[in-house]
Amino acid sequence: MEKRRLGNSDLFVSKMGLGCMSLGTNEEEAKKIVQHALENGVNYLDTADLYDFGKNEEIVGKAIREVRDDIILATKVGNRWNDVEDGWRWDPSKKYIKSAVKDSLSRLNVDYLDLYQLHGGTIEDHFDETIEAFEELKDEGLIRFYGISSIRPNVIKQFLKESSIVSVMMQYNLLDRRPEEWMELLKEHNVSIVTRGPLGKGLLSEKMLAKASSKIKENGYLNYSYQELEETIDSIHEKLGDKRSMNELALQFNLSHPSVASVIPGASSIAQLEENLQAVNNPPLSKEEVDLLKQLTKPSHYEQHRD
């Protein structure tokens, strides 16, 4: 599988990573999914300390024990759950980050992280303190590089200005094109985009509207009413579905943008993972296909969290 450089780092990640949040808590099944991904060219695994309150990191750690040096391992920090009874709270403080990284390393049973990501961010955060924590962790050899997982424009701009991030993880798909506003700026700063949610809650998978929840049927999805969703998805399938699967169109659309280093769909089964592997290993979209997909879907931008 093609590898792409992550920002200005020396990390070369597979153009499709594995989003580990969907692995579940059955260790044997999760291990099979991870191994199948690795056997098929995926070298980039993304988890977070929040997923199943640390259990996901433990499961990933066991699955990669024998191949640690062959993979790019990423996790996230900032959603603190070890001092509250129910749920979590936001804590981007230096003290917490430097403590939490040791807990993640322990659960993953590794000595270092390839990529450590701030799992969110608000404009009220003390950015200097957060960035200082990541820079110190780099100097200490506990992490190789760091990035952020944020959709908030004012947070992204602040980190581009003040830090040495190599990546920004953002939700991006044919039905949520808001990150396009930032692609050129990120490219100018040599910061890569890693995309999550590429299948739009399953609406862009082979099951299409069969995956629509009752909430989506009632309220639509982002700036699409349910009727608009039906019309848009039907038109995509009608005009391009004879040559490409919906999975393929969705994942390849993300990968068509030079700013995107990797697309990270989740997988709760080997069959689901295999669909995504086939989709990304097929030929890339032509310019004409990309242009048509843009014509069939809505451009949009973030309304909130702006200067």
Among candidate residues 44, 51, 146, 221, the one labeled active-site is: 51
| Kind and range of the H or E run holding 210 | none
**What would the two tokens of residue 135 be?**
């820079």
Please return the burial class of 189, using the count of CB atoms within 10 Å of its CB with bins 0-12, 13-18 and 19+: middle
Please, are residues 285 and 294 in contact by the beta-carbon 8 Å criterion?
no
| DSSP label at residue 67 | T
Catalytic residue status for 51:
yes
CA distance 10 to 2: 15
**What would the two tokens of residue 199 be?**
């299948």
Task: Give the pairing of strands 12-14 and 3-5.
Answer: antiparallel
Of the candidates 173, 263, 182, 265, the one whose C-alpha atom is nearest the C-alpha of residue 222 is 173
Please, are residues 12 and 4 in contact by the beta-carbon 8 Å criterion?
yes
CA distance 136 to 139: 5
Residue 263 three-state SS: strand
Q: How many CA atoms lie within 13 A of 292 on its CB side?
A: 15
CA distance 135 to 133: 6
Of the candidates 91, 81, 96, the one whose C-alpha atom is nearest the C-alpha of residue 124 is 91
Please, are residues 251 and 263 in contact by the beta-carbon 8 Å criterion?
yes
Catalytic sites, residue numbers: 51
